[in-house]
Structure 1
Amino acid sequence: MSITFHMATPNFAFEARDVDISQPLSAADVAQLRKGWLDAGGVLFLRKQDITPDQHIDFSRHFGNVYDQGPVNNPALAGYYLEGYPQIFQVTNKKLADGRPVGREDAGTYWHSDASWQPEPPTGSLLYARELPSTGGDTIFANMYQAYETLSEPMKKMLEGLEAQHTLLSAVLQTSYAKEYVGKLDQAQSKNAVHPVIKTHPETGRKLLFVNPGFTSHIIGLPRDESKAILDYLFAHSTKPDNVYRHVWQLGDLLMWDNRSVMHYAVPNYKAFGIRYMHRTTIKGIPQ
C-alpha cells in the first residue's frame, strides 16, 4: 500500500490517501499512519472508507487500547452504544419511533479535550461518518502545540510549572451535560484531576498547552480572578483562526484525533438539515 499525506491546513491536520482500512494493514502501513497522525499535530482523516463496526474496532486497536463502555463513565448513556458493540458510541440526532434518542445528540458541542477531568485521559478517538445532514455538522479542532508555540516568551515562563484543576462539573454547569446530571452535581464534582498547564507530549516530545474551556475550572494557587483572566486569554488564543482546522464531513470519512494535543468542538448547526449519525471508538494508551 502506497500511503500519501496531504495537509488540510498549514502544518495541521493531514489527509491520508490511498488507504483502504477494510483490508489488512501491514506493520509498515500502521507505522506510516501513526507517524502521519503525530506529524499532523494529532488530526488525521481518511476519505471514502466503507467499513463494518468490527473493522472500525480492529483499525482503532492499531493506535491504542479500545474502550469498552469506558469513556462516558455514566450508566445512563449505556444504551447509546451500538447494539452488540460496547466499544462503539453512537453520536447522532436520530430518534427511535417512541422519541427516545439513538445516541448522544449534543456530544461535544463546546471546546474541550475529552475527559481531561480523568487523571489519565483518553489518548484519542476515531469518528466515522455513516449518515450526514445536507449541510452543517462540521467539527473544529485546535492545535495545542501551536497554541503554546505562539505564546509570548514571558507568558510561557509564567505558565511553566503551573497546574490546573479539571472537573466534569465545569461542563455540567455550562453544556449539554447538565440534563444528564440533574440532582447529581456531587457526582460531577467528584470527577476531577490536576494537570500541568504546559505538558510535554509523551511521543513527540513537543510542548503543548493543556487547558480547555469545557473542563478546566481554575489554575491552582492563583486567586480566582487572576486564574479566570489567564484562562480566558488562553482559551481565546488557542482558538484563533490560525490555530484551528474545520473538518467538513463527507460520508465514509474516518477521522482520528490525538486527545493529548488537540481540543475539538462539534458544531450543532445541522439539526434542521437532516440526520448526523457517527460511530466513535475511543482509545487509551499506546499499543506495544
Structure 2
Amino acid sequence: MKQTDEEYLESHFKEFEVQTFYTESFTSLEELVETFVEVNNQQESEDLDAFIDLLICMLHVDGEKRITPAQILEQPFISGISINILNPLTSDEIKDILPRKYSFIKLQATGQFGQVFKCESKHNQKVHSFKLPYSHHNMEKEAQLLRRMMCKGLEDQHIVQCMAFIKTRLGKAFIYENLDMNLTQFMATNCPLTLGDVRSIVQQTATALKSLKCMRVIHTEVTLDHVWLCAQTARLEVKLTDFQSSIHSKSAEPGMKLQNVNYRIIL
C-alpha cells in the first residue's frame, strides 16, 4: 500500500525538539579561548598563546599598530622561536662576557637555546659569528656533533663552519664563520624571492641534509631561522646551523614529534 507524503514522514522521522542556543559575548580573543579551548600540554599552550598574539597583531584596527606581511615572518608563532626565552643578554652584557681578544660588533639573532652575534678578532681583524648559550642550556651535544662534521669537511657541504670553541661563564660558545643573516631576516626585506634565489637556497639546504643523512643524523628543526646566509660572498650562499636538537637516526621512532609544528608536514 502506497503511503502518502505525510504518512511517510510521520513513520520515518521523529519530531525534533527545538532548542534555543544563547551566544555569549566576549571582550577579547583571550577570554574566548579561555572559555572554550582546552589544551593538553605546555607546548600546546605556548603555541596557542603565540597564535592569539599573531591574530591580535594582524587584526588590529589601528593601521599603524597592525603588522605588515613581512613582520608576520618574525612573529613567534610563524618563526617557531619560543615566546618564553629566558633573559636574553643585552649588548653590554655580551661585551662583558666576551674574551678580551674579541670586539663586539652587533647582535644578530636571539633563539631558543642562545644568541648569535658578530665579533672581530683584535689579533687579525677577522670577523666571526658567535653563538652563546643561555646559562641553563648545555651545548656539549651540539659541540661534539660539530667536531665530527668539521673533521669530515662538511663545511663544503653547506654545513656551518665552526672554527673553534671558547669557554665563557655561561658555558661553551661556538665561533662560526662570518654569517650575515638568517632566512627569516633576509625574506623580511627581500620578498618576493626570485626563482633563482629559491633554487639556490633549496639546492644548498638539500646538500646539507644529504650530508647529514650520510652521517645518520636527523636535524629535526630545519626552519628559516636555522638557515643562514654567508657574509661577503659573490653569490647567494647558505649554511645549515643549530644542531642542538639533532638526533641519530637509530633513536628515531614512529610518531615522534621532532620538527617544529609550524614547519611540520602532516601526512
**TM-score with structure 2 length normalisation?**
0.26
Q: Comparing both structures, which one devotes a greater share of its residues to strand?
A: 1
Q: Comparing both structures, which one devotes a greater share of its residues to helix?
A: 2
Larger Rg computed on CA atoms: 2
Whose relative contact order is higher, 1 or 2, with alpha carbons under 8 Å and at least 6 apart? 1
**TM-score with structure 1 length normalisation?**
0.25
